[in-house]
Structure 1
């Protein structure tokens, strides 16, 4: 692929512009205004230059240790396989006005979700009004009865939310998933920007791209603001499961960026209804934990008795209001896929507003009529496990084999309450550098929303891209990659 090829490709619109219409290209094959400067620059780049930059990015990511572990894959020593997430050098670009619209919708949604979590652990008004069935909450695997009636600081449960968004048409955003437990990926958003600025500094002279580097400062402000009353100079730590966790790089990275201690369960102990960490200077009282450990492993006296990842007695300290956990225990009930269909109703119920962001139409297979429709249309639908994550446990009907479809049919009939189904949206794509050149690939976006005294976010997020042709699965564990996300200031 030569520089001439680039010129011909852009000039004559050799992309599948039907898929690119909502991102980079108009129907006529011309770059949209906010992509024009980038593609003007790209025409001046040779294939050799771009390949060299891609190799440089991969080498730097590997040297710095920006990797993730793939569960289920083992190397020769028996340890989990470590991979770098493929990084694409073509950014995903937003106009400022479009971003502002998305941001308003995200703030609204996260506000409603926080109100919902508080409600179900207190008055349960949304249940009493018949909007959300009681069994969908009380029988939910993520519901924590231990949190019933527990007061949390400022009534904020999801301090950090990662909301997965896709665009299916001009200015038409859909939320795919709400991640409220221990959402990950923000380190890749930050490192992708650093990498683009290192590889292509001239691009940031030609384009006024809104910064994202201040995210760790916003995160630390959010965590400190969540401290229990009376903690004037709160001590904040990041609790990690340890080096074998797939997101350990992110844990260490964020702790370093915020200037806080990275701790494991063995570093913590409870005494006199307060939580402490062991230091070389003696015990240090902890006020706020940014926890990257799942609920089940936080306290062996309350949840899993075999866990060594948390601290015995932590929940008692938490209930007494002497430490804040970010995110709160029990937030998972609100990001479960069986609760997802009710989020627009939450917005209307708690805020008295119409939702600014759409849900993907969803069939709940626990309902007889919905199940029958799904069984009749399996080859056309996406079927997901209600408690699934990471792109696992999914059926993408149009891309599935007959055997895969029949296997899911049997699973649905046997356990319909474990599944939901959705249509296969005509997701927008973005130009992506793949082995065969530049081609359209499906993308989603995970912006990170911080809730404290106010709801804040940086202009951007983690754009994930399905590198396999035709694939709709963007998860890194399923072969996806990432892009830098630009929000243009003008």
Structure 2
């Protein structure tokens, strides 16, 4: 290959994020496509190498669990960014804020009056069988009535160009550090394009995160003491925990670094004694945060933490119990949840969903397993799901038995024609499927990242974008065409 020739690039049957038709970049992508077309093979290789070297020097890694081993790998990154025009993103921003506001009202309602259940909008059996509903949280009130302070909602675009919400991650969503590092790497590789001023910045995330966490402090007016609680160095997201602590200038702690005093306040152990902690950004799952209340064998949490939180002496983000709305069955009710609490139509559509707990839906799913994607209610990372069109008959038969034995635990969706984006594969540009995870911060106010983490399925034809299963990522550019 001498130079990138966009006339030869095609993504048959799929919406492409950069190219409308062979040789026709979308308006927001014209500058980038022209830039790439002017690079010869050697220059393109140099760009790719520069990105790989930057990733190595910056120590950007992720952890893969395989065959009982843990392997740290360099972050898989593609140098060709995914681009969204600012005008479209502003609508997406509004839709994400609407969605998270309604979800927080829903969670707060579930732990208090459960009006939405009493009114029959969400069936009581859905809540009764939710593995993430925490009875220990009933009656607790949170600052600003917010439970999910950090949310990562996954967006996908179908072949008609519509952006859909695929799922909401409300427990301990990860990936934002890679969004920020992707931008740092891209700036090193293509500095000239950032000089145009058209690409919207993303580097204010950690400042926004700090301000949101500070707004939760039980001691307003003071300089709050904020810590990030990590399970430790063997956690797959430990790179992110340490990155965010360093960027915000807060302490990264493990459960053994904290203690709850006789006054039911949380303290951090320091060389010169104990120092009170106001806000804990916890990256530890509910069941492990307090052995006094949840798993008694947990070595990751803090004895008495729930007691301190219940009394309002410490803020936890995300709040325990927020995962009740992080359920792929609850997901199907989000449009009704938005309408119920806000009296509004959803600004962002859901992917059509079938709930196996309902007989008619279950029959349809079992009759059409070869056409559907089937997901367990509470798995993440792309695990435990069936992609019907790519599955064997044996795999589909196995899933049919799983659905019959526990229908509440499964939901299904049509196989979407996920949009593609040009990706450097060897020496050529090839279409690869992508999704997008923006991050929404909720405290006194709500704020959405400018773009998010674009994940890309690096394997040809694959729809699985998770890094743990062979996916990679791209920088995401929100481009202001009006600024041109």
Distance 1:251 1:105 in 2: 28
1:230, distance to aligned residue in structure 2 (A): 4.3
Distance 2:106 2:217 in 1: 22
Distance 1:169 1:371 in 2: 27
Q: 1:28 to 1:201 in 2, by over 3 A?
A: closer
Q: Which residue of 2 aligns with 1:387?
A: 378
1:415, distance to aligned residue in structure 2 (A): 2.2
**What pairs with 1:244-255 in structure 2 (closer than 5 Å)?**
244-255=234-245
CA displacement 1:214-241 (0-9 Å, x = unmatched) = 1100000000001115462211100000
Aligned equivalent of 2:56, options 62, 75, 89:
62
SS in 1 for 2:195: helix
Distance 1:103 1:403 in 2: 42
1:308 aligns with 2:299: yes
Distance 1:221 1:246 in 2: 26
Contact (CA 8 Å) 1:168, 1:428: kept in 2 or not?
A: yes
1:469, distance to aligned residue in structure 2 (A): 1.2
Q: Which residue of 1 aligns with 2:85?
A: 95
Normalised TM-score (structure 2): 0.96
**What pairs with 1:221-260 in structure 2 (closer than 5 Å)?**
221-230=211-220, 232-260=222-250
Q: 1:231 to 1:323 in 2, by over 3 A?
A: farther
SS in 1 for 2:429: strand
**What pairs with 1:29-108 in structure 2 (closer than 5 Å)?**
29-74=23-68, 79-108=69-98
**Which segments of structure 1 move beyond 6 Å, counting only runs of 4 or more?**
none
1:171, distance to aligned residue in structure 2 (A): 4.8
1:243, distance to aligned residue in structure 2 (A): 0.4
**What pairs with 1:186-225 in structure 2 (closer than 5 Å)?**
186-206=176-196, 208-225=198-215
Distance 2:41 2:416 in 1: 33
- Structure 1: gaps of 5 or more residues: none
Distance 1:110 1:398 in 2: 32
Q: Which residue of 2 aligns with 1:2?
A: 2
Aligned equivalent of 1:294, options 285, 288, 291:
285
**What pairs with 1:263-412 in structure 2 (closer than 5 Å)?**
263-271=253-261, 272-412=263-403
Normalised TM-score (structure 1): 0.95
| More deviation, 233-242/431-440 | 431-440
Distance 1:82 1:230 in 2: 40
Contact (CA 8 Å) 2:41, 2:427: kept in 1 or not?
A: no
Distance 1:28 1:154 in 2: 50
Q: Which residue of 2 aligns with 1:461?
A: 452
Q: Which residue of 2 aligns with 1:473?
A: 464
1:153, distance to aligned residue in structure 2 (A): 1.2
Q: How many residues align?
A: 480
SS in 2 for 1:278: strand
Contact (CA 8 Å) 1:98, 1:171: kept in 2 or not?
A: no
| More deviation, 129-138/61-70 | 61-70
